[in-house]
Structure 1
């Protein structure tokens, strides 16, 4: 799983939640290559290009999970914000289920999604950073015949599944202007959708040789 930068504690809580639901969970830090500014820039470039250390780290994590003696052999990927964008991009790379939460859509959407595993996605209707993303994603997945459950929560904003406003103090006024805030009413439903999706696709042992 992957999340936004400067969100280590929140990422651990997300991981703890999945672990408590019975899943072997690995939180991948995609922002570890250098200082804060350098790692953010390099990670963004990696997402745009579709190559780089971030994708290598995610592939390594999938291999570790699938070969662990505690694993069923099936693996899922989940991401939030930028991590959601990565989850969408790697959904075709051997995963059995993907959860995309207010993730950036790839520029070549259908090309990037072709061959993806089943996807559950949560977006906010008041997310000014991703206007129309839910409808575009659902249309592309349907067109490719990929099982999906995409929902837009009408009154929620970007990062509405956060359990607290953990942005740096200097960024919090900007977040308020953009309407970025937790939504304690929508978040439980979004999490339930994720857990239902993973239960459906991950709880049975893999039949792959």
Structure 2
């Protein structure tokens, strides 16, 4: 093998990703570190300044046809890793201007202890300003139609809802994220919320989701909740709790929900 052959092979993988993830299902790409890395590298790094003068970064993926509605993807407690970037690339393949935000300033955790520490380090006010800045930036971007949704997983699921409250959007998707906000906060929502929750989840449990539903009802806001016979993080193919059937069903429901509310 010559020194150039690995580079050639890698470029071929990357080209396959650029051509619709090589025709592979999203789960297959996510389960393969090399493919996920190649998919992640198709995104473009972007940086903006928040209202309080901080520089924040994200990764942008554009669809073939523009302008298009936009989707903000918000990472799990691990940080903005190749998994989330790959899902963002798939949103672009589905026809959305897709942005993966980074709430950890470039840090990615590789242990649960590190991830937990990163979550605790988040300043809620700063994170809210960061998300509001990205919403404003995407709405004004020439590539978008001005219609926008948020999608988040775990830590990011909670921030998907927080973002929709702080800078109202047309659609919000929560994958097993913290959702027990008061009715007065929910009243600021302008679009519907879709929630994916797991019956075996020991933290984002039925009691929390019931509080979410009560608050949404009190605020007269539209929402849909789906329960899955699975555990927390069931949609992450890189984790031990992955449930392929439920992940596929949740993904199909997410795409249907976003299509109905962002392409109107």
Alignment of 1:72 onto 2:145: yes
Output the aligned Cα RMSD: 2.0
1:13 corresponds to: 86
TM-score by length of 1: 0.79
Alignment of 1:190 onto 2:250: yes
Question: Whose Rg is larger?
Answer: 2
1:33 shift after superposition = 7.1
Bigger proportion of residues as strand = 2
SS in 1 for 2:97: coil
Distance 1:61 1:17 in 2: 20
1:82 shift after superposition = 0.6
Distance 1:3 1:190 in 2: 17
2:233 corresponds to: 159
Distance 2:243 2:226 in 1: 15
Aligned 1:126-137 pairs, distance under 5 A: 126-132=200-206, 133-137=208-212
SS in 1 for 2:157: helix
SS in 2 for 1:76: strand
* Greater length-normalized contact order (CA 8 Å, ≥ 6 residues apart): 1
TM-superposition CA deviations, 1:46-88 (whole Å, max 9, x none): 2xxxx12x21221121112111111111111111101111111
Gaps of 5+ in 2: 1-72
2:96 corresponds to: 23
Contact kept, 8 Å, 2:187 with 2:220, in 1: the verdict is no
TM-superposition CA deviations, 1:106-161 (whole Å, max 9, x none): 4x4323212212101100011012221333322322232211111111x2110111
Contact kept, 8 Å, 2:157 with 2:173, in 1: the verdict is yes
TM-superposition CA deviations, 1:147-197 (whole Å, max 9, x none): 1111111x21101111222xxxxxxxxxxxxxx601101111111111111
1:105 shift after superposition = 2.4
Structure 1 residues 135, 64: CA separation in 2 closer, same or farther (over 3 Å shift)?
same
2:225 corresponds to: 150
TM-score by length of 2: 0.64
2:162 corresponds to: 89
Aligned 1:95-114 pairs, distance under 5 A: 95-106=169-180, 108-114=181-187
Aligned residues: 182
Distance 1:31 1:13 in 2: 18
Distance 2:222 2:102 in 1: 28
Contact kept, 8 Å, 1:2 with 1:28, in 2: the verdict is yes
1:34 shift after superposition = 6.9
Contact kept, 8 Å, 2:173 with 2:194, in 1: the verdict is yes
